[in-house]
Structure 1
Amino acid sequence: MGCDGGSIPKRDELVKQKQKQAKVDQNILNRVHWFSCALSKKPLAAPIVSCGLGKLYNRDAILEFLLDRNAYGDGDLICNHIKSIKDVVTLKLEPNPSFSEGQSATSLTNHDQEPVSRFICPITLKEMNGKHRFVYLDTCGCVMSEQALKEVPSKTCIKCTKPFEQFNVIVLNPKPEELDDMKKTLLEKQMRIQAEKKEKKKAKASKKELEKINGADSSLLDQTTSSKRKLDEATTTESHKHKKHHTTDKISSTQPTQSSTHSLTAAVAAKVAEQMAVNAGRQKSSALQSLYSNGRGSKENFMNR
């Protein structure tokens, strides 16, 4: 055991123990998550966008990824849930007045120096550097600290007064234990959006069908109206023709009647005149006879009287 050049093994060399997970410096994680793009690993520069899981990206990097999903080696692992530019929201960030470009470059490379954030909360003026929880609203894209949102309870955005619901509040760079719940919420939101799109398509299709039916009905009504108008015009023309023909017939039938009436009147007048002449002759002869008869026999005359 001794003076033979051997060695005594220790217990940790004979028994396998569970390896301890390496602890990562939280300051380094904050710099990675809050000051650099999650996809390209480049410093964040406006315009900055975020997804439903609260990760921060440069908009240019997202566009490159959508054009070529192999543009970044680990792109599918980081943002596989991003299918189009509609899956991200452009953030409205409040600039930090005490920030300078030179100061940012030195603070990111020097780990001993505290980095200065480009952005702050518009309500509490806290820096967005990972020490404070920040949220954004996916309805308007406004970014603020979670403390400001809790201190001013409202159903409208504090910054732009746009209405929102609780599920519209997205935590930026959430904790690992919060990611599972956020993934479920994101999946439910995507399903709800797809259902709304389907309903809109159905409503649009039904509206088009209704417009077609209304158009067909209006055209049929126009045809019916024009046909009725033509029929009325034809009926009116026919009635005018019939009336004119009837008037002509009446006039033509009246003319022979009047001529026959005149001829009949002339004949009656001639006959009456003849009768009056006969009566007058009779009266004259009776007056002469009375001169000679004087009440005596009919055989007595002027000579034998």
Structure 2
Amino acid sequence: MGCDGGSIPKRDELVKQKQRKAKVDQNILNRVHWFSCALSKKALSSPVVSCGLGKLYNRDAILEFLLDRTAYGDGDLICKHIKSLKDVVTLQLELNPSFSEAQSASLTNHDQEPISRYICPITMKEMNGKHRFVYLDTCGCVMSEQAMKEVPSKTCIKCTKPYEAVNVIVLNPRAEELEAMELALLEKQARIAAEKKEKKKAKANKKELEFMNGADSKLLDSTTSSSSKRKLDEATTTDSHKHKKQHTTTTTTTATLSSTHSLTAAVAAKVAEQMAVNASRQKSSAIQSLYNNGRVSKENFMNR
């Protein structure tokens, strides 16, 4: 087998072996995740936002994506869970005083260690991927995980706003943490949707109750108005009857008095007439001829 120009095959050439995963340089990954926008791949610049999965974006890129979801080729794969600006939180980042714009060009130079634009406000550590950073979705304050552990509190160390454990979001989490964060994000979105549905239902019930109360009030007002009107009509009718009765009584009394006065006048006239007749009789010449002031003037056959 020698000197014939042949070659001896190796074992890996004869036996199929499982392919090994290509190792990725961690420094390159850190530069991609911590120094550039996950969507536009441009350098991070304020304002910076983050989603529930801890990815970092430029706010301008998110706005462009929401206006046109085809603006970036892999947008639906990277941030398909972002439906509106409510799904992202604007981060309150602490600027690194050692950073300068001239050093931003070092991102393309893999031989030079880049300087992060942002640092932890408590420990002053750079946000470059070598240290774990977290943010609070209640206020957006960003700090290192070490600072949060060293100063345990129920309020934000930077702005003193209260928060719970579920409000702590890890920035650029590990692969094993990402799955758990995706499940937590789905649960949060489902809970928010259920709360919105309950609020909408409560609002509809409130409107319906107000409408029913308004209808009952109108019905009560109309009933009260009808009752009042009926009572007013009855009172008016009663008063009219009273006035009519009083007028009738007054007319009857007047007629009775007038009749009485007429009768009295007739009787008086008749008496006066009789008296006049009597007076005329007394003054009759035949009677007076019989008497001459009580003296008999001459005896005759009439007064004998």
The TM-score range, normalised by the shorter chain, is: 0.7 to 0.9
Letter in 2 for 1:148: A
Q: Deviations over 1:157-212 (max 9, x none)?
A: 22233332211211000011111101110110011011011101101110111111
Give the aligned partner of residue 165 of structure 1: 164
Partners in 1 of 2:170 and 2:152 — Cα distance? 17
Partners in 1 of 2:60 and 2:85 — Cα distance? 11
Give the aligned partner of residue 202 of structure 1: 201
Deviation at 1:240, TM superposition (A): 2.0
Give the aligned partner of residue 284 of structure 2: none
| Paired residue secondary structure (2:104) | helix
Matches within 5 A, 1:225-264: 225-255=224-254
Give the aligned partner of residue 77 of structure 2: 77
Matches within 5 A, 1:95-174: 95-105=95-105, 107-174=106-173
Partners in 2 of 1:38 and 1:207 — Cα distance? 44
Do structure 1's residue 2 and structure 2's residue 2 form an aligned pair?
A: yes
Partners in 1 of 2:147 and 2:230 — Cα distance? 78
Partners in 2 of 1:136 and 1:81 — Cα distance? 19
Instruction: Give the gaps of 5 or more residues in structure 1.
Output: 267-305
Partners in 1 of 2:207 and 2:245 — Cα distance? 56
Deviation at 1:56, TM superposition (A): 0.5
Identity of aligned residues (%): 78
Give the aligned partner of residue 68 of structure 1: 68
Deviation at 1:256, TM superposition (A): 5.1
Partners in 1 of 2:162 and 2:242 — Cα distance? 76
Partners in 2 of 1:37 and 1:226 — Cα distance? 71
Q: CA RMSD in A?
A: 2.4
Give the aligned partner of residue 211 of structure 2: 212
Q: Is 91-100 or 226-235 further displaced after alignment?
A: 226-235
Deviation at 1:215, TM superposition (A): 1.5
Paired residues in the alignment total 268
| Paired residue secondary structure (2:208) | helix
Q: Is 52-61 or 248-257 further displaced after alignment?
A: 248-257
Q: Deviations over 1:245-283 (max 9, x none)?
A: 2222332333455567789999xxxxxxxxxxxxxxxxx
Partners in 1 of 2:157 and 2:216 — Cα distance? 52
Instruction: Give the gaps of 5 or more residues in structure 2.
Output: 266-304
Matches within 5 A, 1:260-279: none
Q: TM-score, normalised by structure 2?
A: 0.80
Give the aligned partner of residue 24 of structure 2: 24
Q: TM-score, normalised by structure 1?
A: 0.80
Q: Is 184-193 or 69-78 further displaced after alignment?
A: 69-78
Q: Deviations over 1:130-167 (max 9, x none)?
A: 11111111222221111222223233322233332211
Partners in 2 of 1:250 and 1:124 — Cα distance? 109
Give the aligned partner of residue 94 of structure 1: 94
| Paired residue secondary structure (1:144) | strand
Q: Deviations over 1:7-42 (max 9, x none)?
A: 122222222222322222211111110000111111
Q: Deviations over 1:71-106 (max 9, x none)?
A: 22222221122222222112121212221111222x
Give the aligned partner of residue 15 of structure 2: 15
| Paired residue secondary structure (2:49) | strand
Deviation at 1:60, TM superposition (A): 1.6
